Amino acid sequence: MPAMARSHPPVVDVHIHPPIGSHIPSGYDAYLNERYPGGARWLAEQFGSPERVIANMDASGVDYSLVLAQVVPITSEVVTNEMVAEFCRGQPRLLPCATVNPYLEHDPAGLLERLVVEQGFRALKLYPTYGYYYPNDRLLYPVYAVAQRLGIPVLVHTGSSVFPGSRLKYGDPLYLDDVAVDFPNLAILQSHGGRPIWYDHAETLARYHPNVYIDISGLPPQKLPEYFPNLRRLARKLVFGSDWPGPPGTVRGNIEAIRALGLPEDVTADILGGTAARLLRLEQPGG
């Protein structure tokens, strides 16, 4: 049942990638062929429609999903903001997440404002390791200013990537310290928690800055106490994401693993969706 009919916080997945890309570099295509039988074509057939995504959400116990745009042609597929807008149109449980590439857009801040104000995009995702820029690059400061003024969260890929051509040096969460200080009212989600080198950096930033969180997508939930030794002190700054698509049952399994961590019930509810609902302004019935 969709979240709007519930009294408790919804389950929100802040990190899914619809397989609807228009451009797939050879290295990324090889990765998909190794991971999935039939590669990109199979993924598109299985999950390339809103209805199939929602069916997977229902099977997994997810109420809302944040659908990420991705425009990093060097290393990964191109899923434009226009594609995401069309994919989510008429589907209130699918929340569109914009992206900007500071090297490809003449006015990335203006683009973000139009996407949020005119088309209802709920968040922004940046891909430094795929696009070859540091997240504290001053080229992005007008973008952060718009996001802060409009009250939308910004997800930033941190840590490693298996995609050929990615450059790890851009993934250190420490570069987000400048952004957190200079934009104190901007909610920043460190996607993947700095895996596998910089868990300590991600944890420190989340504990030190009130506006910094960790999107745990791509991290096995049962490993969280190992990755973040101060998990109980950190838990309220964690936000659930799946990095879907993945093997059948993965999303539901991750949700169950989070519930099995032994954290207080209200903290678990915040991780699974309460915090994301607040950041994405889903507090009111119907979103």
DSSP 186-245: S-EEEEGGGTTT-HHHHHHHHHH-TTEEEE-TTS-GGGHHHH-TTHHHHGGGEE----B-
- Neighbouring CB atoms inside 10 A of 22's CB total 10
> Could you give phi then psi for residue 181, rounded to 5 degrees?
-70, -45
Judge contact between 150 and 187, C-beta under 8 A: no
Mean pLDDT for the stretch of residues 68-74: 92
pLDDT of 117-127, one tens digit each? 999 999 999 99
The mean pLDDT value for 224-251 works out to: 92
Measure the CA–CA gap between 78 and 72, rounded to whole angstroms: 6
Give a yes or no: residue 129 inside a domain.
yes
Per-residue pLDDT reduced to its tens digit, 148-167? 999 999 999 999 988 888 99
| Cβ pair 109, 135 in contact under 8 A | no
Token couple for 104: 């490809």
Residue that is written with structure tokens 């959400």 in the block: 57
Average pLDDT estimate for 71-83: 90
More confident: 163 or 113: 113
Pick the residue with more confidence: 34 or 52? 52
Q: Which two tokens stand for residue 30?
A: 């090889």
CATH number at residue 239: 3.20.20.140
Q: Which amino acid is at 27?
A: G
pLDDT of residue 124: 98
- What is the arithmetic mean of pLDDT over 207-212? 98
Does 287 fall in a domain?
no
**Please, which pLDDT band fits residue 10 given cuts at 50, 70 and 90?**
very high
85-100 average pLDDT score? 97
Per-residue model confidence (pLDDT) at position 278 = 97
pLDDT, residue 271, reads 98
Annotate 219-241 with b (16+ C-beta within 10 A) or e (fewer). bebeebeebbeebeebbbbbbbb
Query: What's the mean per-residue pLDDT of the chain?
Result: 91
- Rounded Cα distance between 80 and 100, Å, is 9
Residue with tokens 């096995």: 220
In this predicted structure, the answer to whether residue 3 has a pLDDT above a threshold of 60 is no
Q: Assign 34 a pLDDT band (cuts: 50, 70, 90).
A: confident
286 within domain boundaries: no
- Split at pLDDT 50, 70, 90, the class of 41 is confident
- For residues 232-249, give the mean pLDDT: 90
State the maximum Cα–Cα separation within the chain, in Å, rounded to a whole number: 48
d(C-alpha 243, C-alpha 160), whole Å: 14
Strand runs (DSSP E) across 102-202, as ranges?
Answer: 123-126, 154-157, 188-191
Residue 77 lies in a domain: yes
- Range of the structural domain that residue 28 is part of: 3-279
- CA dist 81 and 145 (Å) reads 20
The answer to whether 240 touches 276, Cβ cutoff 8 Å, is yes
Q: Please check whether residue 284 lies inside any domain of the structure.
A: no
Are 152 and 122 in contact by the 8 Å Cβ rule? The answer is yes
Is the pLDDT at 182 greater than 90, yes or no? yes
What is the predicted pLDDT for the residue at 7? 60
Tell me whether residue 104 is in a domain. Answer: yes
Q: Per the structure, how many domains does the chain have?
A: 1
Banded pLDDT at 53 (limits 50, 70, 90): very high
Asked whether residue 198 is domain-assigned, the answer is yes
**Quick one: pLDDT band at residue 244, thresholds 50, 70, 90?**
confident
Mean pLDDT lowest for which of 6-15, 33-42, 100-109, 121-130? Answer: 33-42
